Structure 1
Amino acid sequence: MDKKKTPEKKNHLAGIDRRTFTKRALQMGLAAGAVASGFGSAFSGSSNQFYDVYDYVIVGSGAGGGPLAANLAKAGFSVLVLEAGANDPSDDTHNIPAWHPFASEDRKLSWDFFIKHYADFNQQQLDDKYIPGKGVLYPRASTIGGCTTHHALITVYPHNNDFDRIAQATGDSSWGSSNMRRYFERLERCQYVSRPIFSNPSRHGFDGWLPTNRGNPALLLEDPAILKIVKAALAKYGLEGALEQIISGNLRLDINHWDVASGEEGPFIAPMAADSRSRRKSVREHLLDTQSRYPNLLHIRTNALATRVMFEGKTAIGVEFMEGANLYKADPYHDDAGSIGTMRQVRASREVILSGGAFNSPQLLKLSGVGPSQELFQHGIDQIVDLPGVGENLQDRYEVGIVSEMTEDLALLKDCTWGEQGDPCLNRYRYGWLNKGPYSGNGPVLSLVKRSHPDLPDPDLFIFGAPSDFHGYYPGYSQALRDYKDRFSWIVLKGHTNNTAGRVTLRSANPQDTPEINFHYFDEGSGDYEKDLQAVVEGVKISRDIMSAPIVGQQVARELLPGGDVQTDEQIGQFVKNQAWGHHASCSNKMGPASDPMAVVDSKFRVHGTNNLRVVDASVFPRIPGFFIVVPVYMISEKASDDIIAAATGQIA
């Protein structure tokens, strides 16, 4: 989509308080349109027809909002999804699993947040990825499907304890792990395990909307260097002879098997969200398919930036939004002078549901008058409900990359030109049959799940190896894929982190502004940061042991990161503090009982102190679950669907 700028126009709404913003917006009609009023009218939109009143209005079309919208429409309710991004046409960049880094830097669908890991500027600037005056890049997506249109497709089930703790904290048994597993079974369409005839001990799903597959492990046979790395990794578990099992797809290496959710360790091939043709599948396809089947019930309004939830008293009655392209300042095409929209309003006869994610949902709650009273007063926002927990408790995982330069280009990638004319790897992907080549996988060749300490209830390290140079996110990071074919990285991910001190706070009352985001890493955070730090150090040492194994050592020219001068635990720890990143922001609208002063939503996703308002996205988790956030968010979207439909049909309060 061509995104034009009009720099000759001036945005008179920047940097003002909430009251002034609303007053001027109503006066100006935000460049062209007056606020929509009256009922029963309809007008053509960027995706489909739009009405003034729906049963449900959902803000956000990603992992939380998309499945929920589809389920509500299937149940016979009218649903409007407000998506701030455009309906970007799908192409190879988005669909090819190995090209997900390019998708995440596609300016047509990206929102680039720049966040802080530390309030201490001296510590923050030690990160090589830090951009002076901005922060550290945190890529998000803004299009139908949200971040599921660019994520790395890794589809990993969380641990049972992640849900059992919520059940215990809320007193709601429906959050128990055995019950929650049925939501995974409902959404998954597993294509790498044979459908069982009688019992189903794996508890995989086979009829859901999300196809899951594994990359072709036979590709390992095409690259002697990677094959040796995998053999060395297996040897750490005493599984030297397991390579044949991996290549044949042995079920013992299925990380999404029900037995593994109780805390099993070992090497695994991580499944990915792709169909049998090795094409990305996500919420986008599910939502658009549902819309095509229920066109009169499910409407998707793109280029619609929600500005506030409308209330009558403490009851949510609708959403105010700005209609126009590139309105949010995280959009690379945003222009303060030219990105001006039209103010609209839409009513919800039943409920408003926020699914904007860990950054945008707390921002929208605060802009709507729901949040910490002092912060709302500071920005001139009229308070609806004083909820001090909104934007607090922000969490993420810690990740670092151990990058090695090999003695020669990896055989698997040496002929790939990443989409240039005549690219033999692209031709193989498009026209191959049984083996579609390296582009058919999302990168990881083997994943290791391990406890950093034997006393931990669940494994907390997820270490995966990929034929690439990857050490975090920074502008242009995907170019390293094109530039280097002689690099191999082990990425260490620390799950079940202790730190809950991250914060999302308003920069201003202008809805076009991004919020201030600071994760307060390690010693700035809460909990036992030393245990988190030592766990990542342990992961770095495991990765190094693999690359220094005799079978691998002769293939490695040198270690680029952390580098040969980083050897002691203290030095590795400082490297981790300086260079760690995360990409699974969660927990900024914590779930908990009303007796918890920092809880934002109850166990049915309802915002405390309000009526007809829920939040359904990654922000509601009390603690960040598992290793990768997307599957847990899919699951709670399915659960919220049941809760909301039951409430609407009188089955529960």
Structure 2
Amino acid sequence: MLFDYIVIGGGSAGSVLAGRLTEDPAVRVCLLEAGPADKSVLIHCPAGLAVMAKFELNGWGQNTVPQTALNGRQGYQPRGKVLGGSSSINAMVYIRGQHADYEHWAEEGNPGWGWEDVKPYFLRAEHNERGADAWHGEGGPFNVADLRSPNRFSQLFTEAGVQAGHPHNTDFNGATQEGVGMYQVTHRNGERHSAAKGYLTPHLARSNLQVITGAHATRILFEGQRAVGVEYRQGGALHEVRASREVLLSAGALLSPQLLMLSGVGPGAHLQRHGIPVLHDLPGVGQHLHDHPDVVQVFNAPALKDLFGISPAGMLAQLRGVLEWRRSRTGMLTTNFAEAGGFIKSDPAETAPDLQLHFVIGKLVDHGRKTVLGHGYSAHVCLLQPRSRGTVGLATKDPMALPLVDPRFLTDADDMQRMVRGFQRLREILAQPALARFGARELPASAGAQTPAQIEQFIRQYADTIYHPVGTCRMGSGPLDVVDAQLRVHGLAGLRVVDASIMPRIVSGNTNAPTVMIAEKAVDMLRAAA
């Protein structure tokens, strides 16, 4: 089968690419997605994310290698394996990052990626239900909304943050990011609005779009140094599709570098160790992996039955929530759990927030995979600009095997120092009267960590990802960069990488909206090249 473009990965970036490119009826696109269609009610009901997290549904089941700075623990790396990718399983928080993040991208040798360059693509993507203004778009495919039925404790967390001296911020995507407040979410009419629901599934009937699910890409096909197609496995058989223009790799920060290496593109010595012929020695593939390290303080509050929890009253409330959501798409199941949060400084001397907070209206232990009885709340603190860098490598040349993921969390001493200060700043907020008057009690695991040294040990034992891996196919013009500012793979033709792996430096916040922006910008590049 011959198409103009082949998109590998039906996640956030891939959905944007396929939906936008097929707006031109003369352009033929094939989208390959390893997972199924996004039909599960657990995807569309916002609170379904808790069930998906607990049972690791619609994901790859990826873990890290043992982390030396985290007491040798393996971390969890949930990545979506379904149409919509991680936007179909995430907590739906809509954040762009700080304007300075993109200025840094441009300064690192990527013209056209400064804030004023990328802002139009954020606006083009967005339909913000608050309406259009200088900072927000209206009429785009990606729906952004306020929560329909927020929990009262989310607002109480905001009040506690203000009592602790932080400004109240009603728009983290406006003129300034700093402060505490309620998050906007990618919802529409009380349902999750993933990138697939915004860009892809409304257009599945287009005659120039073919979406193949259950299609695990095994290698990119080349003629000389030009990408010409993709081999994929579906139902136990191998198939091929061909591209007359370009192959667009959008498998994410963990799987995009893996597929490049399986195809002979990457660090030559690493490929040779796995018996893979080297097509193009590109040493930066799989390097520069980084992510937001995160740690959680959990509070037990058995009397607060309006928080999520496992108890007779809690189960009855959730049953009522199911009925209300089915009837009117309102009620407690419209929650994203991380309803409130903020961006704060670990030290007043910082020029910009270096920490992000997520307040969760339930007791969250081990990413929600561990069953915890009773009611309570949790609060995350994550480091926005970690210095630690890791790698993604091959475990084997078997394309069905998962890669080796080593973020090297908190191996840089500065990262740990900021996390310790962040833990202390978060505890100050949680101790304010707005929350403290309810008498919730911090769980012993973190309550016993009082001195900086004790807090550091707690972090080493409990910290993990907040699900934002980036950087493994870094954009730039240096010897360890993988793509140029047009997202073309250095030294090859007909191949671009379009996903979070191209970020030269992680954005200061959740990475889903920036990934959508990257794909929107890539569409204009592809149209110009064609």
Confirm or deny a common fold (TM above 0.5).
yes
1:211 aligns with 2:143: yes
The correspondence for 2:131, drawn from 172, 194, 203, is 194
Of the candidates 104, 115, 118, which is equivalent to residue 67 of structure 2?
Answer: 118
Aligned length: 527
- Report whether the alignment pairs 1:511 with 2:423: no
SS in structure 2 at match of 1:148: helix
1:272 corresponding residue in structure 2: 185
Preserved contact between residue 321 and residue 343 of structure 1 (Cα < 8 Å): yes
Amino acid at match of 1:493: C
Q: Measure how far apart 1:379 and its partner are.
A: 1.2
Match of 1:338 in 2: none
Question: Counterparts of 2:156 and 2:7 in 1: how far apart (Å)?
Answer: 49
Give the Cα separation in 2 of the matches to 1:556 and 1:630: 36
CA contact (8 A) 1:462 1:494 kept: yes
Answer yes or no: is the 8 Å Cα contact 1:212–1:272 preserved in 2.
Answer: yes
Partner letter of residue 124 of structure 1?
G
Q: Which residue of 1 aligns with 2:323?
A: 427
CA gap of 1:290–1:429, structure 2 versus 1, over 3 A, is closer
- Please tell me whether the aligned partners of residues 404 and 558 of structure 1 are also in contact (alpha carbons under 8 angstroms): yes
Question: In the alignment, which of 274, 280, 285 is matched to residue 197 of structure 2?
Answer: 285
What amino acid maps onto 2:184 in structure 1? P
Which residue, out of 32, 45, 50, partners 1:82? 32
Asked if the contact 2:220/2:230 (under 8 Å) is kept, the reply is yes
Distance in 1 between residues matched to 2:434 and 2:5, nearest whole Å:
59
> Which residue is 2:501 aligned to?
619
Question: What corresponds to 2:384 in structure 1?
Answer: 495
Query: How far apart in 2 are the matches of 1:142 and 1:562?
Result: 33
1:146 deviation in Å? Answer: 1.0
Matched, 1:396 2:291: yes
Question: How many percent of aligned residue pairs carry the same amino acid?
Answer: 30
Counterpart in the other structure of 1:15 = none
State the one-letter code of the partner of 1:289: T
Q: By how many angstroms is 1:88 displaced?
A: 4.6
1:413-452 maps to which residues of 2 (within 5 A)?
A: 413=308, 423-432=319-328, 436-452=330-346
The CA deviation string for residues 45-89 of structure 1, in whole angstroms up to 9 with x for no partner, is xxxxxxx11000111011111101111111331000111112252
Q: How does 1:118-517 map to 2 (within 5 A)?
A: 118-119=67-68, 123-125=71-73, 135-172=74-111, 174-191=112-129, 193-195=130-132, 200-201=133-134, 203-216=135-148, 219-220=151-152, 228-237=156-165, 253-257=170-174, 259-260=175-176, 264-275=177-188, 277-294=189-206, 296-324=207-235, 341-413=236-308, 423-432=319-328, 436-473=330-367, 476-477=369-370, 479-480=371-372, 483-484=373-374, 486-500=375-389, 502-517=390-405
Query: Do the aligned residues in 2 keep the contact of 1:398 with 1:493 (CA within 8 Å)?
Result: yes
Matched, 1:576 2:459: yes
The CA deviation at 1:440 is 1.6
Residue 521 (str. 1) matches residue 409 (str. 2): yes
Aligned mates of 2:457, 2:107 — CA distance in 1: 37
Q: Between 341-350 and 436-445, report the one with greater CA deviation.
A: 436-445
Offset at residue 461 of structure 1 (A): 0.9
* 1:589–1:619 contact (8 Å) kept in structure 2: yes
1:76-110 C-alpha deviation (Å, 9 max, x unpaired): 3100011111225231x111222212133556522
TM-score, normalised relative to structure 1:
0.76
Q: Which sections of structure 1, spanning at least 5 residues, go unmatched? A: 1-51, 126-134, 243-251, 325-340, 524-528, 649-653
Deviation at 1:547, TM superposition (A): 2.8
- 1:280 partner amino acid: R
Letter aligned with residue 435 of structure 2: V
> Helix, strand or coil: the match of 1:631?
helix
* Contact 2:346–2:425 (CA under 8 A) maintained in structure 1: no
Q: Does the residue aligned with 1:473 lie in a helix, a strand or coil?
A: helix
- Give the Cα separation in 1 of the matches to 2:429 and 2:517: 35
Q: What SS does the aligned partner of 1:164 have?
A: helix
1:84–1:303 Cα contact (<8 Å) kept: yes
Identify unmatched segments of 5+ residues in structure 2. none
CA contact (8 A) 1:403 1:488 kept: yes
CA deviation after TM superposition for structure 1 residue 365, in Å: 0.3
Q: Which amino acid aligns with 1:571?
A: Q
Deviation per CA, 1:131-190: give whole Å up to 9, x if none: xxxx33322221111111111101111111211122122251x21201201101001100
Question: In the alignment, what sits opposite 1:330?
Answer: none
**Pair 1:56 & 2:8 matched:** no
1:603-614 equivalent positions in 2, closer than 5 A: 603-614=485-496
Check the 8 A contact 2:151/2:361 in 1, yes or no.
Answer: no
Larger Rg: 1
Aligned structure 1 segments of 4 or more residues deviating by more than 6 angstroms: 414-422
8 A Cα contact 1:407 1:555, kept in partner = no
With over 3 angstroms needed to count, the CA separation of the structure-2 counterparts of 1:606 and 1:97, relative to structure 1, is same
User: Is residue 412–residue 438 contact of structure 1 (8 Å, CA) maintained in 2?
Assistant: no
**Counterpart amino acid of residue 590 in structure 1:** R
Determine the structure 2 residue equivalent to 1:647.
Answer: 529
User: Could you tell me how far 1:116 is from its partner in structure 2?
Assistant: 2.5
Alpha-carbon distance, 1:216 to partner: 4.0
Shift of 1:626: 1.8
- In structure 1, how many angstroms separate the alpha carbons of the residues matched to 2:495 and 2:49? 34
The aligned residue for residue 336 of structure 1 is: none
Q: What SS class does the counterpart of residue 97 from structure 1 fall into?
A: coil
State the alpha-carbon separation in 2 of the partners of residues 218 and 144 from structure 1: 27
Deviations along 1:575-626, one digit per CA (max 9) or x if unpaired, are 1122111111110111111xx1100110111001101011101111111112
